[in-house]
Amino acid sequence: MQKSENNLDPADVKILNILQEDGRITNAALSANVGVSPSPMLERVKKLEKNGYIRKYVALIAPEKVGKGTIVFVTVSLAMHQLAALDNFTEAIRELPEVLECYHISGEADFLLKIAVSGIESYRDFVVNKLTPIAGIDRIRTAFVLDTVKHSTKILVDD
């Protein structure tokens, strides 16, 4: 089998794409879909895990079902951009369970946060009690999600 530029052969590519759709698929079903017998399939999956292609397996929870249906995107600009200020902010953000994702970005802001809370009041409490006390924040801008048009965790792996 020919390997692609990402060092994966077509069977590995197919495995990764299938597992992203169904992380609970049985080894037997996966091997049938890919056309590889079960024993080598198990070894392939273990190798993909060991080499870091597969980070972990998770259940994707519906935020609204657990009382966290208000999704908010927040841009944060820092007053200073020295490494210590960046480290201080990122360490503090990692400790906040409301923050689902945090990206260090270019452009008008320094960071983009994705936050899940129960509503506007809980977002207000989050900002007042958890976000603004972090030293070095210059500006916070908020965008409430009105409707999710597309949400995917799948990264298309090309062969």
Helix (H) / strand (E) element for 74: namely strand 70-78
Residues 6+ apart with CB under 8 A from 48: 12, 15, 16, 54
pLDDT at 131: 98
pLDDT at 2: 54
CA nearest to 68, candidates 112, 98, 95, 102 = 98
**Is 41:27 a contact under the CB 8 Å cutoff?**
yes
Looking at the domain covering 63-144, what would its CATH class be? alpha beta
pLDDT at 3: 55
**Angle at CA of residue 116, ends 101 and 106, nearest 5°:** 35
Q: How many Å apart are CA 112 and CA 142, to the nearest integer?
A: 10
pLDDT at 158: 87
Specify the domain boundaries for CATH 3.30.70.920 within the chain.
63-144
Give the orientation angle of helix 10-21 with respect to helix 38-50, to 10 degrees. 80
Average pLDDT, consecutive stretches of 10 residues, N- to C-terminus, the chain (159 residues): 70 96 96 96 97 95 97 98 96 98 98 98 98 97 97 90
pLDDT at 86: 97
Q: Quick check: helix, strand or coil at residue 120?
A: helix
Residues 6+ apart with CB under 8 A from 150: none
pLDDT at 47: 97
Specify the domain boundaries for CATH 1.10.10.10 within the chain.
10-50
Q: What share of the chain is helix, strand, coil (3-state, %, to 5)?
A: 40, 20, 45
Q: How many Å apart are CA 112 and CA 100, to the nearest integer?
A: 11
pLDDT at 113: 99
The CATH number given to 10-50 is 1.10.10.10
Q: How many Å apart are CA 42 and CA 109, to the nearest integer?
A: 44
pLDDT at 5: 57
Q: Which residues pair with 71 in a beta bridge?
A: 116
